[in-house]
Amino acid sequence: MALAPADAVERARSYSHAVVSWIDDDGYPTSVAASFTADPSTARVDVGPLDRSTLPPPGRELCITFSHIRPQPGIGYDERRYVNLWGVAEVGDGRVRLTATRATGWDEAELPFMEYAERGVPKAHAYFEAVGGRPRLSAWWKLFLATRLPFLTATIVPIALGGAVAAHQDRFAVGYWLLALLAGCAVHIGLNVANDLFDDLSGADAANTTPTPFSGGSRVLQYGLVSRRQMVALCLGAYGLAIALGLVLAATRGWGLMWIGAAGLALSVVYSAPPFNLVARGLGEPVTAAGFGPVMTLGGYFVCAQRFSWEVVYASLPVAILIALVLYVNEIPDRAGDAAAGKRTLPVRWPADRVVGAYAVSTVVAFGLVPLGVVLGVLPAWTLVTLLAAPLARRAYLGIRAHYDQPYALMPAMQTNIGLHLAAGMLLVTGYVLATVF
Amino acid sequence: MPEEPGVLPPDVEALLDVALVAELTVVDATGRPITYPLIPLYDGRHLFMTSAVLFSKKLRHLKANAKVSVALTDPVGVPAEPFARATVQGDARVLDEDLHEGWEALLPLWRAKEPAIDAFLKKRFGIPLFFERSVIEITPRRALYWAGGHTEAAPVVTELLDIR
């Protein structure tokens, strides 16, 4: 990264030694290290004393490097940083003086390695173009990344919940439920892939230099691992499978399922497809809540019970809120890239304290709905086990508040937040199972 | 340590064997030096470094001008006992026929210095372009060695000719 010379010289003062390099008369670079003094006010560095035989000729172009790492025995190292200064050599009294005219550097405490690497993606593509290759990864890993397979928990939880409510009513039908699960996963994969395609076309993912395993899209297009054509085929294939399974289930379990399927498909399309692109209008959270809450849960329930149920809708609300919060928190590190691409998500629109505050309130509402449902007689008492997941909400909240502006330090909180949805959702399912058994 | 006697003076090899970081200096398109901190690996004949395609500018410089120096200077990054400093000048070759797996031949040398590389490699799907890497193979031509790291004194200079 380019640095102002005075700033670079100021930074240089924290290093233990300097490495002076120049091109010798044979055309080879020569490097020699020594102690130094630095004056940021004049952007000047004095290095030495050096032996006469290893002094650069006066007037020679120099690069002076300051480098630091901290070894971690048995592991590797951390605290990587360096500064490079350039200028012309002045030589006297066994010392080299350089007044910096240009400087670069990197400090992983300021620019985390992952972001530093992400900024190099255009260079990687240029290099591949020059050598005539392309990045490789096994077909399995490409599929794993492109579909964002671990996020299928967002589909598995509500469909499991729908099945659990049906079981509580003695209406569970395992075969149809499994088909519904497959159809739900197919819709979800289609949605993930479509989202990547639209974020690629809008430039949102390319503008995002702080992707994490939980945000910033799958990156398979940005890294050149998969072509747009392959992604379109995957997207259409997933939606096609979902539609086919939906038709089979509707024909066998009741055409009322078509309303659920149509709602799910419509939500997944309006989420990121133009001209709707609701996620860019700050409406991604309600769309996600509806799709991965009542719609999926009702689907899982309907294929078993062959009817609709307000109990199912109510039971799905905590899961709906928590999955919307997964999207919401994952948008926090993406907000710079999203803003650059005109994707005005809630973290783009709102200041940090409002984003964090709204998270806290939402989790309280999500968990509050469970005892309220029990008091109202909508949910069985066993579903109170869901509250066991509440400490995760606090942990996620504290992590988000502490690391709001640090994408990589935020990752544990993002992971906890995803775990919160999974844990609370599966505890809700467990509550229904316990209520069915006892 | 390599099993057969290496091409470099033993004192310099001792530094290379423990060095976690070295300063690779290359010549840029304008003829100026530019320095990159990298892990140095050594097999007794050549020095090796690897570079991810994400940080490929140095590779372009090397393809245009093969002359390089590798400096071992940092008491922390080169934890040798007794401490010393060295600079090796040489000619570099960029090996980029197989960016995906070609560099893996250096894994035993790399693992000895950064055992965590195996854990990172298992997760290469998470940062795939970092593991698309060129190998920089450096044939040493001259070695400068400063006992005790005292560069105010003249270095011991060893000329190394016609190493293939």
Quick: pLDDT tens for B36-94.
999 999 999 999 999 999 999 999 999 999 999 999 999 999 999 999 999 999 999 99
Residue A128 with chain B: CB contacts under 8 Å: 53, 99, 132
Q: Are B69 and A28 in contact (CB under 8 A)?
A: yes
Task: Give the distance from residue A355's alpha carbon to the nearest chain B alpha carbon, in angstroms.
Answer: 28
Query: Domain spans of chain B?
Result: 10-150
> pLDDT for A226-255, tens place per residue?
999 999 999 999 999 999 999 999 999 999
- The C-alpha atoms of residue A107 and residue A114 are separated, in whole angstroms, by 12
pLDDT exceeds cutoff 90 at A70: no
> What are residue B93's DSSP bridge partners?
B137
Q: Is the peptide bond before A57 cis (omega within 30 degrees of 0)?
A: no
- The C-alpha atoms of residue A265 and residue B37 are separated, in whole angstroms, by 51
Per CATH, the number for A139-437 is: 1.10.600
Give the pair of three-digit tokens for residue A434: 């316990």
Residue identified by tokens 């968990």 is: A367
Report yes or no for ipTM above 0.90: yes
Residue A84 with chain B: CB contacts under 8 Å: 34-35
Angle value at C-alpha A287, between A277 and A317, nearest 5 degrees: 170
Q: Of A21, A70, A135, which has the smallest distance from its Cβ to B33's Cβ?
A: A21
What three-state secondary structure class fits A7?
A: helix
Residue A120 with chain B: CB contacts under 8 Å: 52-56, 129
CB atoms within 10 A of CB A376: 10
What's residue A112's pLDDT? 83
Backbone angles phi, psi at A130, to 5 degrees: -70, -35
Gyration radius from chain A CA atoms:
28
Q: Give the N- to C-terminal CA distance of chain A in Å, as an integer.
A: 64
Q: Is A110 on the interface with B (CB under 8 A)?
A: no
Per CATH, the number for A2-111 is: 2.30.110.10
Q: Are B85 and B72 in contact (CB under 8 A)?
A: yes
Q: Is A65 on the interface with B (CB under 8 A)?
A: yes
Say if strands B41-42 and B22-27 run parallel, antiparallel, or are unpaired.
unpaired
> How many residues can be counted in chain B?
164
> What are residue B51's DSSP bridge partners?
B134
CATH 3.40.228.10 fits B10-150, yes or no: no
CA atoms within 13 A on the CB side of B13: 15
Q: Of A28, A77, A141, which has the smallest distance from its Cβ to B125's Cβ?
A: A141
Residue identified by tokens 């844990």 is: A423
Name the average pLDDT for chain B: 93
What's residue B3's pLDDT? 61
> pLDDT for A354-384, tens place per residue?
999 999 999 999 999 999 999 999 999 999 9
Residue A133 confidence class, pLDDT cut points 50, 70, 90? confident
Q: Is B56 on the interface with A (CB under 8 A)?
A: yes
Name the average pLDDT for chain A: 94
pTM of the model: 0.84
